[in-house]
Amino acid sequence: MYGVINFMSKYIRIVLHICALLPLVMLFYDLGYNNLSVNPIQDITIRTGKPALVLLVLVLSISPMRKWFGLHSLLQFRRSLGLYAFMYASLHLLVFVGLDYGFDIELLRSSVFKKPYVVLGLFAYLTLVPLAVTSTHGWIRRLGKSWKMLHRLVYLTGVLAVAHYIWAVKSDIRQPLIFAAVIFVMLLARVRVFNQVIYLLRERFFTK
């Protein structure tokens, strides 16, 4: 049985890596074949930012899924998902600073802080940095119990990232609101009463 679980985990991990890298591969493909929109910088910005948010939501969903449905094996994928989220967030920031502002520090200083959504995005990224840095087994051993407390920052990262997305979108905010709703449910998963309701629903609909 243990061997079967290891076998499945290996292939699930391969699928995870493929799915996580697919948006980047498709982006490079469209860059190479000039398939971007009429505003390529905006297109690249969106196509690096959205995967970061999707992966971040998946990271946040692992603990509730483990708690509600006993899917403990999902924990082994959390680190990979988190690092991929950090990779896309870093690319997102690099596109903004490099392509949008040409690494012009003075221009960035004079204009960035006039845009609240940029400030929110920057704070979201800054909260993500220590999580990525301390994701190794060495840091887990060094920090001990403090590691879990530090990594609760991911909830703040999620809130800031969604707020950044909502504020950045100028017209249709339906998609950002869907992300906001999911993040809200993930936050509710920290509340005992909400978990008790989920357990009751699980027993009602998923057990005989």
Residue 5's pLDDT band (cuts 50, 70, 90):
very low
Tokens of 101: 């502002």
Residue whose token pair is 């243990």: 2
- pLDDT of 92 strictly over 70: yes
Q: Residue 56, SS3?
A: helix
For 13-41, the pLDDT digits (tens) are 899 999 999 999 999 999 999 899 889 99
Report how many domains make up the chain.
1
Task: Give the Cβ contact number of residue 176 at 10 Å.
Answer: 18
pLDDT value at position 8? 62
pLDDT value at position 108? 87
Question: Does any domain span residue 191?
Answer: yes
- pLDDT of 4 strictly over 50: no
Question: Does any domain span residue 199?
Answer: yes
Query: What is the arithmetic mean of pLDDT over 77-103?
Result: 94
pLDDT value at position 208? 53
Question: Does any domain span residue 7?
Answer: no
More confident residue, 189 or 159: 159
Note down the domain range covering 115. Answer: 38-205
Question: Does any domain span residue 87?
Answer: yes
52 alpha-carbon distance from chain centroid:
5
Quick one: what percent of the chain has pLDDT higher than 90? 56
Question: Does any domain span residue 139?
Answer: yes
Question: Does any domain span residue 8?
Answer: no
Residue whose token pair is 């530090």: 150
Count Cβ atoms within 10 A of the Cβ of residue 206 and give its class: 0-12 exposed, 13-18 middle, 19 or more buried. exposed
pLDDT value at position 46? 94
Question: Does any domain span residue 21?
Answer: no
Residue 58's pLDDT band (cuts 50, 70, 90):
very high
Residue 6's pLDDT band (cuts 50, 70, 90):
low
More confident residue, 169 or 88: 88
- pLDDT of 154 strictly over 90: yes
Query: What is the arithmetic mean of pLDDT over 43-51?
Result: 95
pLDDT value at position 25? 97
- pLDDT of 50 strictly over 60: yes
Rounded CA-CA distance 104/116 in Å is 19
- The mean predicted confidence, pLDDT, of the chain is 88
Question: Does any domain span residue 149?
Answer: yes
